Amino acid sequence: MEVIVKPINSFLDDYIKLGISSIMLPLEGYAVEYTNYYSLDQIKNIRRKYPNIKLFISMNKNLLNDEINKVKEILQELEKINIKAIFFYDLAILKLKHELNLKIDLVWSQTHMVTNDKTCNYYYEQGVKYALLSKEITKEEAITIKKNSAITPIIELISYPCIAFSKRKLVSNYYSHTNQDKKCFVDIKDIKTKQQFKLIENQDGVSFIGKKVMNGSKILRDLLENDFSYILLKEDLFDHEVFLNCLTNILYYINNYKNMTKEEDRLWLKMQNELLGRNTNFFYRKSIYKVK
Amino acid sequence: MKKIELLAPAGDLERLKINLLYGADAVYIGGKKYGLRANATNFSIDEIRAACTFAHKLNKKVYLTLNIVFHCEDIKDVDEYIKQVVECGIDAFIVSDPFIISHIKKNYPQVEVHLSTQNSTTNAKAISFFEQAGVDRVVLARELSLKQIEDIIKEVNVDVEVFIHGAMCTCFSGRCALSNYITNRDANRGGCAQVCRFCFKTESSDFTMATKDLNACRYIKKMIEINVRSLKIEGRMRSIYYLATVVGTYRKIIDAIYNNELTDEFLTEQEYILSRVANRETSSQYLEKEADETDQYYTGRNEASNQDYLGQVIEYDKNNHLVKIYERNYFEVGDEVELFTPNKDTVVFNVQKLLNEEKCEVFIANHPDNIYYIYLDTKIDIPPYSMIRLIKKNMKEDAYNND
């Protein structure tokens, strides 16, 4: 199993020292739902500096008509610099891959919509190699997708999860309405459930990021035993040291789980929970949709 | 060139009939499964069949939403369901999942597939992907301007449908799981709890992000000019009065445009009628500019209940000049009211004589859901499903009652 890390800066040595060989970088102007982004030049520099790293690029925003030509150029540029795959939301990117006959692999990355095996297979037949599974499905659903689909699933295992994205300038509107100095973020809390979210605004809109860590450590053994090839860990909003500790623990587990006893498993999970909290998100919780 | 389609939402069979009688060319409905309004009444298979029969007799169409984001468990029985719905005579499915699109087009090529707005499609290149997948129509994202819509239409070979009226999401459709996280209700499978209309807290104050509704009545002419194929009204859970008013108003606007009779005065009048039935303020949202601080609320849920709807006509006794109505809101003798019909006729009059169900004269209709008779001598045809709305209260009587 490979761990893909979405870092918070351009200095990758900390991750490489731990043994990380796959990095995901959101492309500035063409990605949303992250806390930091990388320009094409920065990505090229990173490619030059770290030639052996597998680079995944996220271009997961809803594209407008007048952005398509630029996207076409970017895809051709990325093709030249040995990119492992592109995370995409907008189907224009898949269409462009076909039209331009690009060899670059794609990750179907429609946030909350990657939820079943049949549609994963549909995209696989369309030439999409990977799928970033929805964070709102259960562990069993993820395993079903893995078993029944030819696509290579990627599980976002540990992150402050992105929950929604709006094109509206909700943060600016708030500060303007309340006559406060403008910032690009605001923290909000739901009164009833006490859940907190960080709203981060840029030129494309507002990303809603949950302020409770999604900690999927508990399902890691199941993923390994079911031959999942990739997990994604996002550093957004994490303290760098905490994230590195978490990463160290995850890599240790991947390398040693086969020989670990139940008691060692329990202690390892206890350590992860102490570091990250116990929120397993939807891995063990089915959402409902029919209210009785 | 085809006349633009007016497409209305129907939560049940009665709403479907109201929509079609008041001028919708097509309606979209949800079945008991796989639609994004899991808690609406929705249509059983028998009701879908009845809906198609009713619509087709009027030479109109019925579309079924099949636009949830499918989980593995949902997809198991969908084949059989689609087959049953096709046998009912459905004209199109509204779908967000490309696997379902390909399944329908492969097995039922005679049935249209419309790409749901749940996909938040914002460019022509993405549309060309779906065109290849077999979709006949694309419902564009609500985040686009008129100019962007026009540019897309110039580049694509499929029909384009645009929302023109009703509630707006705060986030991109399909790109929001707030409901999942805060209420455990899956927004992408029909359980949306409208969390974006909740009031949140920041460190120092309330934080709200609820949007005003969309009202595009001033842009219909432009939409016809740029070859939008279908104009969609939101609101499968709205009341029959709301639907009759909104559908009827847009029907009049569209017809006035095609008849070269559209004037600013007429449009202002129609805008006023729409404003009376709305329970939220409206704006043009993204159509003319990026949505900004004027397009949302800052005080949490902000919905006014509407008391204008007085009742639905059951029948008209021409000989005795009595309109039999099913009452919905309080009114009294002396009130100025308007009766409007599915045929676009209207008559404004003062209530002079009012009878209860036993045909005894009364002065006040104050028992909603009861039958009343209103005296009205008019030459216009008053078919069932005509409605009566309040224009002006009898101020003299009010003053009297308040004393």
pLDDT band at B302 (very low <50, low <70, confident <90, very high): low
Residue B301 scores a pLDDT above 70? no
Looking up tokens 């086969």, which residue turns up? A258
CATH number for B367: 2.40.30.10
The domain containing residue A187 runs over which residues? 161-211
My answer on whether A55 and A133 are in the same domain is yes
Residue A167 scores a pLDDT above 80? yes
Backbone angles phi, psi at B313, to 5 degrees: -75, 130
**Does residue A74 sit within a domain?**
yes
Average pLDDT over residues B27-45: 89
Average pLDDT over residues B380-395: 91
**Does residue B300 sit within a domain?**
no
pLDDT of B279 reads 81
Quote the tokens at residue B294: 């004027």
The partner residue sitting opposite A188, judged by closest CB among B120, B176, B202, is: B202
pLDDT band at A2 (very low <50, low <70, confident <90, very high): very high
pLDDT of A90 reads 98
Query: Whole-number mean pLDDT of chain B?
Result: 93
What total of structural domains would you count in chain A?
2
Contact A65 B143 (CB under 8 A): no
Neighbour order of strands in the sheet with B361-362: B346-350, B336-340, B387-392, B309-317, B322-327, B371-375, B354-356, B361-362
**Does residue B332 sit within a domain?**
yes
Residue A47: name the closest of A17, A19, A18, A79 by CA: A79
A61 to chain B, closest Cα gap in Å: 10
User: Strand, coil or helix: what is B69?
Assistant: coil
- B225-265: pLDDT as tens digits: 999 999 999 998 899 999 999 999 999 999 999 999 999 99
Looking up tokens 């309606």, which residue turns up? B27
Quote the tokens at residue B340: 């409007």
My answer on whether B355 and B387 are in the same domain is yes
My answer on whether B103 and B126 are in the same domain is yes
The partner residue sitting opposite B172, judged by closest CB among A62, A118, A178, is: A62
Residue B129: name the closest of A64, A65, A120, A96 by CA: A96
**Does residue A292 sit within a domain?**
no
**Does residue B177 sit within a domain?**
yes
**Does residue B372 sit within a domain?**
yes
pLDDT of A250 reads 98
My answer on whether B245 and B333 are in the same domain is no
Among B268-272, B288-292, B300-304, name the one with the lowest average pLDDT.
B300-304
Residue B52: name the closest of B96, B89, B97 by CA: B89
For residue B315, how far is the Cα from the chain centroid?
25
Residue B137: name the closest of B106, B152, B151 by CA: B152
My answer on whether B72 and B177 are in the same domain is yes
**Does residue B93 sit within a domain?**
yes
Last-in-domain residue among B244, B272, B295: B295
**Does residue B104 sit within a domain?**
yes
- A115-137: pLDDT as tens digits: 999 999 999 999 999 999 999 99
Residue B395 scores a pLDDT above 70? no
Which residues of A are less than 8 Å from B186 in CB distance? 136, 287-289
Residue B103 scores a pLDDT above 70? yes
My answer on whether A46 and A89 are in the same domain is yes
My answer on whether B151 and B107 are in the same domain is yes
- B119-165: pLDDT as tens digits: 999 999 999 999 999 999 999 999 999 999 999 999 999 999 999 99
My answer on whether B99 and B221 are in the same domain is yes
How many CA atoms within 13 Å lie on the side-chain side of B313?
Answer: 24
My answer on whether B151 and B270 are in the same domain is yes
My answer on whether A196 and A76 are in the same domain is no
My answer on whether B17 and B51 are in the same domain is yes
My answer on whether A41 and A175 are in the same domain is no
pLDDT band at A223 (very low <50, low <70, confident <90, very high): very high
My answer on whether A80 and A189 are in the same domain is no
Contact A169 B292 (CB under 8 A): yes
- A51-83: pLDDT as tens digits: 999 999 999 999 999 999 999 999 999 999 999
My answer on whether A155 and A144 are in the same domain is yes
**Does residue B266 sit within a domain?**
yes
Contact B242, B277 (CB under 8 A): yes
Residue B37 scores a pLDDT above 50? yes
Residue B372 scores a pLDDT above 90? yes
Cα–Cα distance measured from residue B266 to residue A105, given in angstroms and rounded to the nearest whole number: 56
Say what the pTM is.
0.94
Percentage of the residues of chain A whose pLDDT score is greater than 70: 99
Average pLDDT over residues A217-234: 98
Q: Is A81 exposed, middle or buried (0-12, 13-18, 19+ CB in 10 A)?
A: middle
Percentage of the residues of chain A whose pLDDT score is greater than 90: 97
Last-in-domain residue among B228, B261, B295: B295
My answer on whether A133 and A183 are in the same domain is no
**Does residue A282 sit within a domain?**
no
Whether the complex's predicted ipTM surpasses the cut of 0.90: yes
Contact A287 B298 (CB under 8 A): no
Q: Which residue has the higher pLDDT, A68 or B34?
A: A68
Contact B201 A282 (CB under 8 A): no
**Does residue B302 sit within a domain?**
no
Contact B201 A188 (CB under 8 A): yes
pLDDT of A292 reads 56
**Does residue A284 sit within a domain?**
no
Residue B398 scores a pLDDT above 70? no
CA distance to A98, A128, A192, per residue, from A132 (Å): 20, 11, 31
CATH number for B28: 3.20.20.380
CA distance to A258, A274, B271, B377, per residue, from A220 (Å): 12, 16, 58, 78
My answer on whether A193 and A241 are in the same domain is no
Mutate to test the interface with B, among A59, A65, A145, A163 (most CBs of B within 10 A): A65
Q: Write out the DSSP string of chain A.
A: -EEEEE-SSS--HHHHHHT--EEEEEBTTT--SSS--B-HHHHHHHHHH-TTSEEEEEE-SPPPGGGHHHHHHHHHHHHHTT--EEEE-SHHHHHHHHHHT---EEEE--TT----HHHHHHHHHTT--EEE--TTS-HHHHHHHHHH-SSEEEEEEEE--EEEEESS-HHHHHHHHTT----SEEEEEETTT--EEEEEEETTEEEEEESS-EE-GGGHHHHHHTT--EEEEE-TTS-HHHHHHHHHHHHHHHHHGGG--HHHHHHHHHHHHHHH-S--TTTT---B----
Contact B39 A290 (CB under 8 A): yes
Residue A188 scores a pLDDT above 80? yes
**Does residue A53 sit within a domain?**
yes
The partner residue sitting opposite B122, judged by closest CB among A63, A190, A285, is: A63
My answer on whether A194 and A89 are in the same domain is no
CATH number for A72: 3.20.20.70
**Does residue A286 sit within a domain?**
no
The count of other CB atoms within 10 Å of the CB of residue A241 is 9
My answer on whether B115 and B202 are in the same domain is yes
My answer on whether A46 and A94 are in the same domain is yes
pLDDT band at B402 (very low <50, low <70, confident <90, very high): very low
User: Strand, coil or helix: what is B255?
Assistant: helix
Contact A12, A54 (CB under 8 A): no
pLDDT band at A101 (very low <50, low <70, confident <90, very high): very high
The domain containing residue B175 runs over which residues? 5-295
My answer on whether B55 and B179 are in the same domain is yes
Last-in-domain residue among B271, B295, B319: B295
**Does residue A133 sit within a domain?**
yes
Q: Which residue has the higher pLDDT, B13 or B305?
A: B13
What total of structural domains would you count in chain B?
2
Which residues of A are less than 8 Å from B188 in CB distance? 112-113, 115, 136
B100: CB partners within 8 A, 6+ apart: B66, B70, B78, B82, B93
Average pLDDT over residues A111-115: 96
Average pLDDT over residues B31-55: 91
My answer on whether B28 and B80 are in the same domain is yes
My answer on whether A73 and A118 are in the same domain is yes
My answer on whether B320 and B278 are in the same domain is no
pLDDT of B401 reads 47
- B193-219: pLDDT as tens digits: 999 999 999 999 999 999 999 999 999
**Does residue A291 sit within a domain?**
no
pLDDT band at B36 (very low <50, low <70, confident <90, very high): confident
pLDDT of B228 reads 98
